[in-house]
């Protein structure tokens, strides 16, 4: 019997359909459900309805959004923030869920922690009440963010109603240039297709440049799929994936691991698999990127100038560009490399893994930051390993702060805010108005680029600065 060639996404989707309605809606089985402090609405919903968590053994709670980046020796001062952290612990305890709390030696940002602990595996369906759940697609899982009502539905049933999304393949072939990273690659993709370019689609990233990325790099790419509007991003699992997983705490072991790998090797898209849309990029054309506006789609090479709304034919679009430039405090035509910054933030589920910290430290080693900055590792294990390699000393000697793991200044709800009017070179994923604090101005970039900006006090082409 010959089967129709199927894509990675189609194989994972098909394997999880529990039931289908005549209107095409599918009831999808969920293999992993991650929760964070924001899940209190969903717990409230199931409690109100008198429902239980159907599969506690597949449900994991992680404190990351509200945890302090500074010393954890003392209780959290702000009672509302402290309540968010303790409420998660209480809800997880009451429902018998594994809880990675503030003082857990594995604690970290859920999208850093889960892969690190071997919870993220190829072929799984993974959901979390967080849009950056797309991160886990780096392992060939189907992973996406959901809202509170859907979280309560998954808690109660371990399933979710979904309409089969469309598919898009983004192929990036070639070799990335020196100092050009996964972050620059995904910013180039978003700029090419737009912030809603992949809406309604699951994106598979393919091509030699993607294959050549480490797991950390692949996680960065899939993480920002949502910034192109994608439902999810996926990368076919391969030996890079399997060797990352082997030996991790929650990963299958021994014969079971071998059996899993045998299955995982069947997941990559078949030759001849058809996608609703195909996009291709040449890796050699991708430069270190920064954003100039208040959407990730405004990413451009750092060597570019601020665009001119006067050159935009559509008056509504021109007005929107002016509004962004006004918010960002930039004038058309100025070179981005002349833009001064007030602080840097290195961290977030996009760029707080060991590879990211190594890249930033390589630029800052032997240099001083001329602006204040905060470096927040993605998890306790990342923090420990970075310290073992002396990376913390590099940052501290450069004058930056070395924080405790969490979401921190990416979303600012633990109290780490960019002051109003200040300009931040940030390794995060969103430059939305007010994202890092009311009237804060965010320029997105890679860890090496943020480190270069720290050293010069302005947006800087790291290729010109070079790593010491």
Partner 1 sequence: MDPFVTLTAPAVPLDIANIDTDQLLPARFLKKPRSAGYGNFLFHDERKPGFPLDEPAYSGARVLVSDRNFGCGSSREGAVYALVDGGFRCVVAPSFGDIFAANAAKNGLLTVTLPEDAVAALRRQLQEAPGATVTVDLPAQTLTGPDGRPLPFAIDPFKKECLIEGLDDVALTLRHQDAIDLFDQRDAERRPWVVPGVVPGVA
Binding-site string for partner 1 from residue 420 to residue 459, where x marks contact by CB under 8 A and - marks none:
----------x-xxxx--xx--------------------
Q: Which of 69, 135, 158, 220 binds partner 1 (CB under 8 A)?
A: 158
Name every residue whose Cβ is closer than 8 Å to that of residue 189 and which is 6 or more positions away in sequence. Answer: 170, 172, 221, 228, 279, 281
Dump strand ranges (E) for 248-334.
277-282, 289-291, 299-301
- Count of helices and strands (H, E) across the chain: 16, 19
Annotated binding site for [4Fe-4S] cluster: 349, 407, 410
Our finding on whether 146 is near partner 1 (CB under 8 A) is yes
Q: Among 124-132, 235-243, 329-337, 340-348, which window interacts with partner 1 (CB under 8 A)? A: 124-132
Where helices occur in 168-253 by DSSP H, the ranges are: 182-193, 208-211, 215-223, 239-245
Smallest separation, CB 220 to partner 1 (Å): 18
Q: Which residues pair with 305 in a beta bridge?
A: 335
- Are 428 and 438 in contact by the 8 Å Cβ rule? The answer is no
Query: First CA to last CA across the chain, in angstroms?
Result: 59
Total residues contacting partner 1 (rule CB under 8 A)? 89
Residue 350 lies near partner 1 (rule: CB under 8 A): no
Partners of 344 in beta bridges:
373, 425
Q: Which helix (H) or strand (E) holds 424?
A: strand 423-426
Dig out the tokens for 204 from the structure: 């598979």
Using the rule CB under 8 A, give the single segment among 243-251, 271-279, 349-357, 365-373 that binds partner 1: 243-251
Query: Which are the contacts of 56, defined by CB distance < 8 A and separation ≥ 6?
Result: 95, 96, 97
Determine the interface stretch with partner 1 among 156-164, 184-192, 276-284, 344-352 (rule: CB under 8 A). Answer: 156-164
Nearer Cβ to partner 1 (288/293): 293
Contact set for partner 1, span 292-331 (CB under 8 A): 294-295, 297, 316-317, 319-320, 323
Does 388 help bind partner 1 (rule: CB under 8 A)? no
Answer for which of 7, 69, 117, 241 binds partner 1 (CB under 8 A) is: 117
List 101, 212, 257, 389, residue binding partner 1 (CB under 8 A): 257
Residue 161 interacts with partner 1 (CB under 8 A)? yes
> Could you tell me the two tokens for 285?
């054309």
Our CB check for partner 1 shows the closer of 276 and 338 to be 276
CB 127 within 8 A of CB 145: yes
Residue 44 CB neighbour total at 10 angstroms = 14
> Looking at 101, 252, 332, 457, which residue binds partner 1 (CB under 8 A)?
252
Contacting partner 1 within 24-53 (CB under 8 A): 24-25, 27, 29, 31, 38, 41, 44, 49, 51
Contact between 93 and partner 1 by CB under 8 A: the answer reads: no
124 binds partner 1 (CB under 8 A): yes
When asked if residue 163 is in the footprint of partner 1 (CB under 8 A), the reply is yes
CB of 457 to partner 1, least distance (A): 27
List the alpha helices (DSSP H) in 215-341.
215-223, 239-245, 254-264, 315-328
Residues in 200-229 at the binding interface with partner 1, rule: CB under 8 A: 200, 226, 229
């Amino acid at each position: 019997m010959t089967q129709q060639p199927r894509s990675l996404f189609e194989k994972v989707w098909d394997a999880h359909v529990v039931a289908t309605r005549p209107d095409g809606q599918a009831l999808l089985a969920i293999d992993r459900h991650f929760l964070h402090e924001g899940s209190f609405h969903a717990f409230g919903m199931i409690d109100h309805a008198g429902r239980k968590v159907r599969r506690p053994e597949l449900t994991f709670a992680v404190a990351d959004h509200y945890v302090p980046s500074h010393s954890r020796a003392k209780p959290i001062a702000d009672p509302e923030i402290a309540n968010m952290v303790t409420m998660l612990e209480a809800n997880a305890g009451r429902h018998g869920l594994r809880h990675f709390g503030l003082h857990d030696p594995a604690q970290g940002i859920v999208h850093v922690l889960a892969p690190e602990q071997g919870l993220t595996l190829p072929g799984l369906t993974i959901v979390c009440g967080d849009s950056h759940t797309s991160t886990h697609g780096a392992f060939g899982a189907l992973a996406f963010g959901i809202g509170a009502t859907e979280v309560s539905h998954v808690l109660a049933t371990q399933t979710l109603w979904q309409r089969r999304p469309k598919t898009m393949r983004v192929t990036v072939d070639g070799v990335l240039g020196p100092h050009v990273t996964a972050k620059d690659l995904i910013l180039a993709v978003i700029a090419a297709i737009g912030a809603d370019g992949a809406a309604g689609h699951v994106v598979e990233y393919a091509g030699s440049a993607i294959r050549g990325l480490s797991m950390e790099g692949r996680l960065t790419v899939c993480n920002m799929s949502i910034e192109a509007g994608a439902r999810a991003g996926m990368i076919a699992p391969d030996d890079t994936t399997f060797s990352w997983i082997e030996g991790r705490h929650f990963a299958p072991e021994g014969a079971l691991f071998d059996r899993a790998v045998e299955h995982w090797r069947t997941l990559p898209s078949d030759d001849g698999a058809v996608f609703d849309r195909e996009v291709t990029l040449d890796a050699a054309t991708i430069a270190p990127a920064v954003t100039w506006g208040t959407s990730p789609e405004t990413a451009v090479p750092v060597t570019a100038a601020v665009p001119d709304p006067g050159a935009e034919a559509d008056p509504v679009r021109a007005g929107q560009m002016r509004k962004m430039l006004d918010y960002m405090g930039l004038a058309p035509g100025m070179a981005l490399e002349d833009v001064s910054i007030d602080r840097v933030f290195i961290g977030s589920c996009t760029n707080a893994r060991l590879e990211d910290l190594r890249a930033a430290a390589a630029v800052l080693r032997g240099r001083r930051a001329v602006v204040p900055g905060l470096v927040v590792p993605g998890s306790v294990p990342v923090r420990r390993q970075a310290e073992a390699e002396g990376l913390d000393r590099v940052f501290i000697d450069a004058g930056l702060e070395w924080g405790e793991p969490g979401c921190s200044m990416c979303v600012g709800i633990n109290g780490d805010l960019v002051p109003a009017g200040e300009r931040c070179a940030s390794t995060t994923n969103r430059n939305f108005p007010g994202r890092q604090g009311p009237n804060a101005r965010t320029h997105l970039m890679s860890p090496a680029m943020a480190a270069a900006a720290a050293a010069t006090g302005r947006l800087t082409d790291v290729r010109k600065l070079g790593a010491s």
